[in-house]
């Protein structure tokens, strides 16, 4: 189960892990399984773990006062699931994270991650790269939401994340894009013509 994580770390760091560092990573990250619809994090709880998804799919969302879900993130294999604000600031999360499919995940606490980063250069390099890519992705998503039509947002999403189209239903993708499922259905029908 840890092979995917070790491969991910080595792909996202110029410094490869040594055998001793691999053993430390394996000893620190704990495997967990979540059934479909089981919570990894519930709104109001402090996010205690970051999770590296080995198999399955998860979603991060908020429920508004009318009961509507608003998707913030979609996660599949080789993605990290957590609420950075909650885990960093030790505040109650505004979000839910649950398994969309049966999911196998490797979890680590913030303290454990900081400890690994102090001992393993590859971990620090990986986290830095992940933070940079995450900031860029968030900036692009914000710009797209503010500047692009619904059609253009879906086109960019389908181009950049074709695997998500296969894994998540239209209503979740529509919510992620900030459009109605009817609008998404219309856009997909037009694209097929």
**What pLDDT, in 10s, does the model give residues 136-154?**
999 999 999 999 999 999 9
Strand pairing partners for 62? 70
Residues 70 and 84 in one domain: yes
Residues 98 and 112 in one domain: yes
pLDDT of residue 191: 76
pLDDT of residue 188: 87
| CB neighbour list of residue 145: distance below 8 Å, 6 or more residues apart | 153, 178
Residues 139 and 55 in one domain: yes
Q: Is 129 helix (H, G, I), strand (E, B) or coil?
A: helix
Residues 58 and 113 in one domain: yes
pLDDT band at residue 22, thresholds of 50, 70 and 90? very high
Average pLDDT, the chain: 95
Query: What is the average pLDDT across 55-73?
Result: 96
Residues 102 and 163 in one domain: no
Residues 167 and 122 in one domain: no
Q: Number of C-alpha atoms within 13 angstroms, CB side, residue 135?
A: 6
Query: What is the average pLDDT across 56-83?
Result: 96
Query: What is the average pLDDT across 2-26?
Result: 96
Q: Domains in the chain: how many in total?
A: 2
Question: If 0-12 CB within 10 Å is exposed, 13-18 middle and 19+ buried, where does residue 37 land?
Answer: exposed
193 pLDDT exceeds 90?
no
Query: What is the average pLDDT across 133-138?
Result: 92
192 pLDDT exceeds 80?
no
Q: Which residues form the domain of 23?
A: 3-147
Residues 177 and 102 in one domain: no
d(CA 120, CA 93): 29
Q: Number of C-alpha atoms within 13 angstroms, CB side, residue 154?
A: 22
| CB neighbour list of residue 157: distance below 8 Å, 6 or more residues apart | 164, 165, 173, 176, 177
Percent of the chain predicted with pLDDT > 90 = 96
pLDDT of residue 171: 94
CATH of the domain at 7: 2.60.120.10
Residues 78 and 162 in one domain: no
Residues 108 and 172 in one domain: no
Question: If 0-12 CB within 10 Å is exposed, 13-18 middle and 19+ buried, where does residue 114 land?
Answer: middle
Residues 55 and 125 in one domain: yes
Residues 10 and 76 in one domain: yes
């Amino acid at each position: 189960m840890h092979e995917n994580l070790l491969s991910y770390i080595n792909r996202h760091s110029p410094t490869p892990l040594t055998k001793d560092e691999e053993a430390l990573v394996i000893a620190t990250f704990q495997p967990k399984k979540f059934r479909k619809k089981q919570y990894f994090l519930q709104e109001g709880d402090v996010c205690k773990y970051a999770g590296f998804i080995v198999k399955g799919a998860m979603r991060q969302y908020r429920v508004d006062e009318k009961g509507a879900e608003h998707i913030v993130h979609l996660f599949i294999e080789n993605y990290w699931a957590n609420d950075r604000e909650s885990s960093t600031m030790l505040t109650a999360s505004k979000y839910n994270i649950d398994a969309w499919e049966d999911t196998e995940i490797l979890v680590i606490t913030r303290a454990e991650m900081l400890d690994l980063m102090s001992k393993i250069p590859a971990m620090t390099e990986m986290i830095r790269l992940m933070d940079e890519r995450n900031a860029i992705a968030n900036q692009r998503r914000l710009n797209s939401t503010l500047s692009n039509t619904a059609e253009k947002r879906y086109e960019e999403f389908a181009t950049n994340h074709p695997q998500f189209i296969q894994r998540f239903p239209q209503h979740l993708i529509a919510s992620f894009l900030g459009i109605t499922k009817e609008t998404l259905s219309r856009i997909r029908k037009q694209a097929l013509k």
